[in-house]
Structure 1
């Protein structure tokens, strides 16, 4: 499932100069795939992989996007067509490394290849993580401004929340106005066609299964930093009858790029490398890009900064192709080393999804979606009396596990890897945050309903590295699924319990036949049998993060708390690759928050530079 990943977040920064100056001569802003539109020109900021515009006419921004403007395509603008873009020209069509226990098969790794990136083809869910999870970021970065109280303000800044009407409230929509932004560009609403049945029945049944002996009600609004139990969540869709997607492109650039001559989006061009100035230190001069493997290579000059917004799978690729990364990886790919940065492409965290599906009976569908009912069971609700023993088992094993990760070259070193691992485990068990997401979906066209469920906080770590010195060769992506046993334990337990949800009233009245797992897992199947089914049938969730982790350098971080690459004067990463730990949430709101915060820190840094 791609419920809200913005791997290619279309959000660079609001680039504001403190000192006015005469704007350089520039062709009219707009979207073009003609490289002549930028020939011989220098831009203040060059954004690799989508971008967010300046409001200052004195600042020039070039966004280089490998995809095209497909915002009018039904596979993009209609969230209810979710999945139809996967495997198409709108997708990068990447795959994982072979999975040994699945006879060497590979999994598709979806990532949007269009303006707006994955934010243009995802499920458009809008949720936030637990406040205690954001409060781990100051520990990892050394910067208190990344804690919940501060960072949440940037998420609010991106959001334009549209309160539900009477019909939506009658169908289960609840909200806390203080937990939402009012004036941001991203439209967030419950949708005028939101489902009623069977979503409410699904939530009520889930409450009976995971809240034994029972907790009151359904969460009013998980956007307040508390994630647990169950909720009807809003989506990033227009609040009108069109229900069109509110994507990074439509929210931040569609109108602006036509109105402002200082903003150019160049489509159909892939950034192949960063070009470095011939001077002491590491200073980016600009980037090279081309339209195809054998096409002419072009150069775009950056007066101030290069901003990486190509996503968790390809921002590391750009750095490595530019000579920045693990010397061993670069040597194997035939790339001359410019600067050693061992953490590039490591620490990857990806979630794993299992699906249960059912045909329905005696159900008159009410609404057309998109689906937006979610249960968030916590560790004690999943493991029951085994919670304490499991916590101590996991914590006691972390030092050896960290050494294993180091031997596998999945992290920079074991001692550094232990810091975020211990923080995640303590938060998961001690702060009682949501451990698994159970996303209920409805499909009137196939007369089916079911769930996609995934372990939210995987302890497994993976890598993404270049395969060769050619940017047109796909990178090696090794998520290392289920590398830690807690990951498969939680996913298996909730898969087993989810069957119980569909056997519980009031949801059970609509179940006709179980399609997945069906006969593959018997009614009295053991935990081991359920685990075998999970391992053979899981897929990726496509919520990749942490491949350019924003952490202290001694923890194996690649970017600092101001999103600058350590050791490089003028290159930042501003996408999902910097998020150092997974959240009990869909990623969209957090990634928009990262973009909005990037706007502020870039402005602050430029002001300091001018005043020196």
Structure 2
């Protein structure tokens, strides 16, 4: 699944470095495709990328009528396309014109082919083609952010106020409740713009039996009312970002924050069908952004727009580092190899990438009467202690005792720039999983009317592996090299194996077992009932995909820990 992922914003200039205020910025409005309307003009803010973060920031900035905002987006306005507005079509947009169609470096266990790395190429970005699930991470993990950044505004309580303010939650109906929906009122907002509701066509079928079977497999895991409380260990049915009507259209970053606003304000304009190719810098040592270069295609005319205040980099976890490196900011060795002159050495750019891995098990059901049209929304989050059981304590000792050496190895491999900061983050992640009982894996129960099957998607939530994304040429039209380093740490594979093996057990456990006719993938011929760990490992490595939740390629920490100055 693709959830609203971490999409990057990067403030590249300061108000103090803006042009004199008497030079008024140009204003424009609406969604346009003709670059001539904005080329060679000046805006207060230029936003590179019209995805989740880009549109939210642009919309909020343009609330001030004296502030002009230009957003440049490579994709188009596709909000009426069923692949976008109907969340039940999840996956139909992948590998289409709505996707950048990026790939990873070759994966040795999958015939040295690269894996698909989905990134939304449309207004709203990946927030317009993802699973539209509405939930929150674990409170204890949000509360680690102030420790690493030195900024208390990143705590769960502080961020939760913002999350509540943007939400317009619609309570489940009696029919929803009869199918297992639940909620806790205090954990939801009612006055925001993001529409959150349970699907009108919410599945009955296997969803509640699946949750109940999960509690039987994972000791101590219970069915909880609402993950929005910030406590993830449990199983529940979650709402979606969809409108509460018969059409149940997606409530996307574009429809919520930009569709009407660009028509109502004369200071908010979005140029679609164009790509920012690099950032221009003002002369001086402080590296303030002067503007951007952009074009519609590799051979198309190049255009320039300038800024009075700031350029905001919001091109996503995979393409924001690419754009920064193309602009001369990054590891000097990477830039030199790509033929890009160094404007500012910042070796951390593009490193420290973290990405999850997903496997899927499929089953033929006893009945294809799924009691609904979807989308599916039943999930569970087991902890490391529930997954590894009696081996959990020894695994913790093994991981923590070797974590410093692992951080040193990552630095030596060029995957991170600061071993001390990396060790701090790794230690925080490991201790959070073991000491705070945060969810270690996600299992998402799938009902597919299209194929007549039921199944389970499973992935590791917190990975210790570290990868990178870097340019290999000086052209924005060439895809970057993306190395997620799948299963780069044994813990990541261990979680995946345990979750896969125990997911099969869930489908063999009452009351869910009564709904299952047979397992079709991997199937008992491929992975026998009492298969060894080696057999499971071969299947997991040979069939996993990315989860498309890339993070941390442009990180922010306390300066003394990482000398990182980019907001992720």
Give the TM-score normalised by the residue count of structure 2: 0.94
2:118 matched to 1:110? yes
The question of whether the paired residues in 1 share the 8 Å contact of 2:83 and 2:90 is answered with yes
Distance 1:72 1:27 in 2: 27
- TM-superposed deviation, 1:477: 0.4
Residues 216-235 of structure 1 aligned to structure 2 (within 5 Å):
217-235=222-240
Residues 248-259 of structure 1 aligned to structure 2 (within 5 Å):
248-259=253-264
Distance 2:272 2:174 in 1: 42
Query: How many pairs were matched up?
Result: 553
* Partner SS state of residue 445, structure 1: coil
Residues 65-464 of structure 1 aligned to structure 2 (within 5 Å):
65-211=73-219, 217-464=222-469
The question of whether the paired residues in 2 share the 8 Å contact of 1:7 and 1:117 is answered with no
Which residue pairs with 2:5 in the alignment?
6
* Partner SS state of residue 443, structure 2: strand
- TM-superposed deviation, 1:297: 0.9
- TM-superposed deviation, 1:10: 10
Going from structure 1 to structure 2, the CA distance change for 1:161 and 1:314 (only over 3 Å counts) comes to same
Going from structure 1 to structure 2, the CA distance change for 1:383 and 1:550 (only over 3 Å counts) comes to same
Distance 1:515 1:447 in 2: 12
Which residue pairs with 1:528 in the alignment?
534
- TM-superposed deviation, 1:110: 0.4
* Partner SS state of residue 313, structure 1: helix
Gaps of 5+ in 1: 560-564, 566-572, 579-612
Distance 1:68 1:160 in 2: 27
Which residue pairs with 2:18 in the alignment?
none
Which residue pairs with 1:48 in the alignment?
48
Which residue pairs with 1:603 in the alignment?
none
2:34 matched to 1:29? no
Deviations 1:130-173 (A, max 9, x none): 11101110111011111111121122222211111111111111
* Partner SS state of residue 232, structure 2: coil
2:488 matched to 1:483? yes
* Partner SS state of residue 314, structure 1: helix
RMSD of Structure 2 on Structure 1 (CA): 1.9
Distance 1:70 1:453 in 2: 30
Distance 1:308 1:59 in 2: 18
Deviates more, 1:360-369 or 1:387-396: 360-369
Residues 503-514 of structure 1 aligned to structure 2 (within 5 Å):
503-514=508-519
Distance 2:430 2:68 in 1: 44
The question of whether the paired residues in 2 share the 8 Å contact of 1:7 and 1:310 is answered with no
Distance 1:139 1:28 in 2: 42
Distance 2:446 2:399 in 1: 32
The question of whether the paired residues in 1 share the 8 Å contact of 2:25 and 2:43 is answered with no
Which residue pairs with 1:550 in the alignment?
556
- TM-superposed deviation, 1:198: 1.2
Deviates more, 1:154-163 or 1:92-101: 154-163
Distance 1:264 1:182 in 2: 29
Distance 1:230 1:65 in 2: 38
Going from structure 1 to structure 2, the CA distance change for 1:328 and 1:25 (only over 3 Å counts) comes to closer
Give the TM-score normalised by the residue count of structure 1: 0.88
The question of whether the paired residues in 1 share the 8 Å contact of 2:5 and 2:550 is answered with no
The question of whether the paired residues in 1 share the 8 Å contact of 2:104 and 2:117 is answered with yes
The question of whether the paired residues in 1 share the 8 Å contact of 2:40 and 2:303 is answered with no
* Partner SS state of residue 40, structure 1: coil
Going from structure 1 to structure 2, the CA distance change for 1:470 and 1:535 (only over 3 Å counts) comes to same
Distance 1:251 1:465 in 2: 32
Deviates more, 1:34-43 or 1:344-353: 34-43
Distance 1:155 1:95 in 2: 32
Going from structure 1 to structure 2, the CA distance change for 1:502 and 1:10 (only over 3 Å counts) comes to farther
Distance 2:101 2:139 in 1: 34
The question of whether the paired residues in 1 share the 8 Å contact of 2:25 and 2:308 is answered with no
Deviates more, 1:290-299 or 1:508-517: 508-517
Distance 2:320 2:551 in 1: 11
The question of whether the paired residues in 1 share the 8 Å contact of 2:26 and 2:42 is answered with no
Deviations 1:18-39 (A, max 9, x none): xxx9995756510011011113
Distance 1:11 1:328 in 2: 22
Which residue pairs with 2:479 in the alignment?
474
Distance 2:511 2:467 in 1: 41
* Partner SS state of residue 520, structure 1: coil
- TM-superposed deviation, 1:91: 0.2
* Partner SS state of residue 213, structure 2: helix
Distance 2:336 2:560 in 1: 24
Which residue pairs with 1:540 in the alignment?
546
The question of whether the paired residues in 1 share the 8 Å contact of 2:25 and 2:42 is answered with no
Which residue pairs with 1:589 in the alignment?
none
Gaps of 5+ in 2: 16-20
Distance 1:465 1:294 in 2: 23
